[in-house]
Structures are given as structure tokens and as C-alpha cells.
Amino acid sequence: MDLREALRSIPATREFTDEPIDELTLRSILDDARFAPSGGNRQGWRVVVLDDAVLRAKVKEIYLEGWYEYLGQVAAGLTPFSPVNDREVENAARRTAGDMAELGRHNPGFAENLDQVPVLLLVLADLSCLAAVDRDLDRYTFAGGGSIYPFVWNILLGARERGLGGVITTMPVLHEDRVLELVDAPKDHCVAALVALGRPSAPVTKLRRSTVDDFAWVDIVSGRPLHSPPAE
């Protein structure tokens, strides 16, 4: 597949057919993904393929706890778990998780069926490999993820090349300690993402994204926009 086509045609896929994905295909995806850049080429990503049915069910239970809190915040008009949220307002919204769970039981979706996804990859980060230059700033830290998430994105690129789809989720991070215990992870590791992969049950449609003019400027924020390209 042409790279430009791939970059413009990778949606967050959450609905899959029942077709299994064999380990050879999965290994080949990871074999391509490993060429992602990372700070100092330390390659601090670690991947646990969640295969056991009991383990998958436990991860789903943990996932759903956070998911219903997420939905409660959406219903309250919040960006869920935003670092700038009013915590009292957010906590009040999170307490409606029980109501959201009831809705989920009547109308199950991706989260409620997480354990049935063909492939679940738990991506961990070895903290000893991360140059988190914003570690000591008085704000939310994310710089260390620059050495992990290119690899995670490469997984989706590799899946797209093979006619597969997927989605990057971070919900298990909310209860990270329990997830790490389930997979017997070292204490200096953390959860970066849970990646679901499979054969999409519906064809890829045109993606809706902001234009370059909405997020890129010259010299100052909201300054002169970059030169507009010719119409396609």
C-alpha cells in the first residue's frame, strides 16, 4: 500500500469480524513495528499478547471500570480525564459510572466485548529506557511517550498493510497496578496502551480531520498559516 494512502486511511477500528489472526501474521506486524524511533534507540516498548480467555476477561473487567467513568464525564460535557478539568466536577461525573454500566448492559459495544477481539496487545513501557525531560515540570508529563507511541502507531500501520484494522486505547492505565499484576510485569514498567486488532467488519470510509490551517502556524500560535497547497 502507498504510504500516503495508508496515512490517510487508518481509522480507529473497533468492530471486527470473527476471523482469527495467526501468530505468524502478528509477529510480522511487530517485526515491522520495531523499527520505530525511540530516544537513544533504547526501544523501551514491551508487548504482552493477551491470549488466555480468563486473562482477557479480567482485563475487560478492569477496562470497563474506567470506561464507564469516562462515559460519565462525556455525558457531563467534559473531556474525560483532561489535566485541566475541575476535579470536583469531574469526580461528580465519574460517580455516575453505575448508570453508564447499566446502559452498557443494554447496549453492549466495543468495551463490553473487549475480550472477544481477535488480538489484544498490552504495550508496556520500561521506565528505565525513557528520557522524560518534562519529568520535573509542574504539569502533566508526556515527553517519555515519544519513545513508545511511534512503535504503537507502527503496529496500526503494519496492520493496515495486511488488510487489518485496530485501535489504540489507554483505558487500562487508570488501574495500571492491577493490570501489571495480571501479567507479572516488573515494577519499573508501566502501561502505555492496549491495542485491539482484527479484520474490520466494515470498509474504511473517508476520515474526518481538521485542516492544517486549524493547527499549524508560522512563528506564533494563531499566527500566519502555512501556505495553502493547490486544490486536489
Tell me the C-alpha distance between 77 and 19, whole Å.
37
Residue 124 near residue 188 (C-beta atoms within 8 A): no
Determine the pLDDT at residue 229: 65
What is the domain-level CATH number for residue 204? 3.40.109.10
- 166 assigned to some structural domain: yes
- 170 assigned to some structural domain: yes
- 230 assigned to some structural domain: no
Determine the pLDDT at residue 177: 97
**Residues 54-81, mean pLDDT to the nearest whole number:** 97
Tell me the C-alpha distance between 43 and 31, whole Å.
13
Integer-rounded Cα radius of gyration of the chain: 19
Tell me the C-alpha distance between 143 and 134, whole Å.
6
- 168 assigned to some structural domain: yes
Confidence of residue 146 (pLDDT cuts 50, 70, 90): very high
- 59 assigned to some structural domain: yes
Domain housing 111: 3-131+139-225
Residue showing cell 513501557: 125
Please state, rounded to an integer, the average pLDDT across all residues of the chain: 95
Q: Is the pLDDT of residue 154 over 90?
A: yes
Q: Is the pLDDT of residue 169 over 80?
A: yes
Q: Is the pLDDT of residue 228 over 80?
A: no
Determine the pLDDT at residue 12: 94
Total domains in the chain come to: 1
Closest CA to 197 of 172, 162, 170: 162
Determine the pLDDT at residue 232: 58
- 150 assigned to some structural domain: yes
- 41 assigned to some structural domain: yes
